[in-house]
Structure 1
Amino acid sequence: MLLPTLVTCLAGCAFFLSPVSEGCGPGRGYGKRRSPRKLVPLAYKQFSPNVAEKTLGASGRYEGKITRNSDRFKELTPNYNPDIIFKDEENTGADRMMTQRCKDKLNSLAISVMNLWPGVRLRVTEGWDEDGHHSEESLHYEGRAVDITTSDRDRNKYAMLARLAVEAGFDWVYYESKAHIHCSVKSDHSVAAKSGGCFPGEAVVTVESGAQMSISDLRPGDRVLASAGSDGSGELVFSEVLTFLDRDPVTWKLFYTLQTESGAQLSLTAAHLLFVSEGNCSEGVAPAFGTLRTVYASDARPGQCVLVSQGEVGQRLGEGHLSRLNQVTVRESRGVYAPLTQHGTVVVDGVVASCYAVVNQHSLAHWAFSPLRLIHSWTGTTGCHGNGIHWYSQLLHWVGRLVLDSGRLHPLGAPGTERPAK
Structure 2
Amino acid sequence: MLLPWLVTCLVGCAVILSPVSEGCGPGRGYGKRRSSRKLAPLAYKQFSPNVAEKTLGASGRYEGKITRNSERFKELTPNYNPDIIFKDEENTGADRMMTQRCKDKLNSLAISVMNLWPGVRLRVTEGWDEDGHHSEESLHYEGRAVDITTSDRDRNKYAMLARLAVEAGFDWVYYESKAHVHCSVKSEHSVAAKSGGCFPGGAWVTLEDGSKRLIRDVRPGERVLASSASDGSGALVYSEVLTFLDRDPATRKQFYSIRTESGATLPLTAAHLLFVSEGNCSEGAEPTPGSMRTIYASDARLGQCVLTTVASEGVRQGEESMKGAGRFSRISRVSVHEDVGVYAPLTRHGTLAVNGVVASCYAVVDGHGLAHWAFAPLRLLYHWTGFAGSHFGDTGVHWYSQLLYWIGSLLLDSEHFHPWGLTDPGR
Q: 1:14 to 1:54 in 2, by over 3 A?
A: farther
Q: Could you say which residue in structure 2 is the equivalent of 1:178?
A: none
- Identify unmatched segments of 5+ residues in structure 1: 1-6, 16-24, 77-86, 106-126, 130-139, 151-157, 174-182, 415-422
- Identify unmatched segments of 5+ residues in structure 2: 14-22, 26-47, 107-122, 146-182, 316-321, 423-427
Q: Deviations over 1:31-80 (max 9, x none)?
A: 88989xxxx999xxx62699644434xxx322x434xxx2x329x9xxxx
CA-CA distance at 1:382 after TM superposition: 1.0
Q: Could you say which residue in structure 1 is the equivalent of 2:213?
A: 213
CA–CA separation in structure 2 for the residues paired with 1:12 and 1:26: 22
Asked if structure 2 preserves the Cα contact closer than 8 Å seen for 1:269 and 1:297, the reply is yes
Q: Could you say which residue in structure 2 is the equivalent of 1:319?
A: 325
The answer as to 2:335 corresponding to 1:334 is: no
The answer as to 2:80 corresponding to 1:65 is: yes
Q: Could you say which residue in structure 2 is the equivalent of 1:407?
A: 415
The answer as to 2:70 corresponding to 1:55 is: no
CA-CA distance at 1:209 after TM superposition: 1.2
Identity value in percent: 53
CA-CA distance at 1:88 after TM superposition: 11
Q: Could you say which residue in structure 2 is the equivalent of 1:391?
A: 399
Asked if structure 1 preserves the Cα contact closer than 8 Å seen for 2:245 and 2:401, the reply is yes
Taking the TM superposition and a 5 Å limit, the aligned residue runs for 1:215-294 are 215-294=215-294
SS of residue in 2 equivalent to 1:366: helix
Q: Could you say which residue in structure 2 is the equivalent of 1:308?
A: 308
Q: Which runs of 4+ in 1 moved over 6 A?
A: 29-35, 87-90, 102-105, 191-194
Asked if structure 1 preserves the Cα contact closer than 8 Å seen for 2:204 and 2:354, the reply is yes
Q: How many residues align?
A: 313
Q: 1:413 to 1:344 in 2, by over 3 A?
A: same
CA-CA distance at 1:298 after TM superposition: 0.1
SS of residue in 1 equivalent to 2:77: coil
CA–CA separation in structure 1 for the residues paired with 2:235 and 2:345: 20
CA–CA separation in structure 2 for the residues paired with 1:187 and 1:207: 36
Q: 1:187 to 1:302 in 2, by over 3 A?
A: closer
CA–CA separation in structure 2 for the residues paired with 1:103 and 1:205: 32
SS of residue in 1 equivalent to 2:84: helix
CA-CA distance at 1:324 after TM superposition: 0.4
Q: Could you say which residue in structure 1 is the equivalent of 2:368?
A: 362
Q: 1:192 to 1:278 in 2, by over 3 A?
A: closer
Q: Could you say which residue in structure 2 is the equivalent of 1:352?
A: 358
Q: Could you say which residue in structure 1 is the equivalent of 2:124?
A: 128
Asked if structure 2 preserves the Cα contact closer than 8 Å seen for 1:357 and 1:413, the reply is no
TM-score by length of 2: 0.62
TM-score by length of 1: 0.63
Q: 1:368 to 1:359 in 2, by over 3 A?
A: same
Asked if structure 2 preserves the Cα contact closer than 8 Å seen for 1:197 and 1:248, the reply is no
Q: 1:340 to 1:32 in 2, by over 3 A?
A: farther
The answer as to 2:379 corresponding to 1:373 is: yes
Asked if structure 1 preserves the Cα contact closer than 8 Å seen for 2:128 and 2:144, the reply is no
Q: Deviations over 1:120-159 (max 9, x none)?
A: xxxxxxx936xxxxxxxxxx6xx56697757xxxxxxx4x
Asked if structure 1 preserves the Cα contact closer than 8 Å seen for 2:206 and 2:213, the reply is yes
Q: 1:148 to 1:341 in 2, by over 3 A?
A: same
SS of residue in 2 equivalent to 1:398: helix
CA–CA separation in structure 1 for the residues paired with 2:412 and 2:303: 32
Q: Deviations over 1:7-43 (max 9, x none)?
A: 997425599xxxxxxxxx979x9888989xxxx999x
